A and B are shown apart, each in its own frame.
Chain A
């Protein structure tokens, strides 16, 4: 009980920290922020329900006015801006990523990578693209063009999410609540 609570809070903090670490530290040349890696890890390590709760907790703090999104952004304005779709999609993405890891009982690195692709890319992009289409008055195909530059970076992050989840499962098996 207490352990669930602190781990959920820890992963909410992880999303924030991954947005604060300068992106150059993580991958040379590729324009990625690591924040969506945090979303993926919430799902793959904590599982569907707890992962989504961790992301919701993070969003509460952003909405309340803490500048925790990549680039020091925060506040209520984000939830009506063109990128609002991604914010709405964050908890769903973590939930789906966690669901894949919980249900697909192969080696955890493989199912975590698959979960990160399905949740953190497919589901998240669906929400993000719909959000941009709505706020910018574009059709869905036009809005998808705006999201494609981020695809290579996000694929790298999905692989990283798989590797990191696998390592945590080996070093701290009890911490991987998605397989508990």
Chain B
């Protein structure tokens, strides 16, 4: 499956995931509290980090920020109308710096590395009944179920189209769910036959 990791190799790909995530937490806390000059420096630091990954990486980073533009538009219009552009700029810079830095971590860290960090963090929870093995197993199951469910959806939608000129709409969800619920039951039986999930 497609992930958001960048194919442009950067130095940040080599840094351990734990350090990147810890740094991200600290930096985000600083960014959401900073104002004025400090905030500007923060944004510059984020931009410098991204630029150090090269042109291709920076381009992909900019594309990943695209979902923010409706909110940016709202903030700009709103604060122009209030005649308080300075506050508007602060909000925008904070948003771009915080979201951008987090995206940069996502773009340079493999899925399995992040999940490893998570498993390590979840280890104390094993006393509450959430074993690290169970977490890994359920993540793997979700990743496997997504294409299975999409395939079922496509099959049933095609079968509908063969018979009707109308669009299937939401009704198609019910047979898809019923079919995949049966799949899930069979996977559960298979798991139990192989010694259980615990």
Query: When the two chains form their complex, are residues A65 and B191 in contact, meaning their CB atoms are under 8 A apart?
Result: no
Contact residues in B for A60 (Cβ distance below 8 Å): 115, 118, 139
**Which of A9, A10, A26, A77 is the most central at the interface, judged by chain B CB atoms within 10 Å of its CB?**
A77
How many residues does chain A have at the interface if contact means C-beta atoms less than 8 Å apart? 55
**Which of A2, A17, A71, A142 is the most central at the interface, judged by chain B CB atoms within 10 Å of its CB?**
A2
* Alpha-carbon distance between A7 and B153 when the two chains are bound, in angstroms: 18
Q: Assess whether A175 is interfacial by the CB under 8 Å rule.
A: yes
Residue of A nearest to B192 (CB): A2
CB-based A-B contact count at 8 angstroms: 177
B68 to chain A, nearest CB (A): 7
Contact residues in B for A77 (Cβ distance below 8 Å): 64-65, 98-103, 106
Query: When the two chains form their complex, are residues A2 and B197 in contact, meaning their CB atoms are under 8 A apart?
Result: yes
Q: Assess whether B41 is interfacial by the CB under 8 Å rule.
A: no
* Alpha-carbon distance between A137 and B93 when the two chains are bound, in angstroms: 12
Q: Assess whether A148 is interfacial by the CB under 8 Å rule.
A: no
Interface residues of B in 3-20 (CB under 8 A from A): 3-5
* Alpha-carbon distance between A61 and B188 when the two chains are bound, in angstroms: 21
**Which of B5, B78, B134, B173 is the most central at the interface, judged by chain A CB atoms within 10 Å of its CB?**
B173
* Alpha-carbon distance between A20 and B3 when the two chains are bound, in angstroms: 14
* Alpha-carbon distance between A6 and B125 when the two chains are bound, in angstroms: 20
Stretch at the interface among A89-97, A99-107, A163-171: A163-171
B189 to chain A, nearest CB (A): 8
**Contact check: which of B3, B75, B134, B189 meets A65 at CB < 8 Å?**
B3
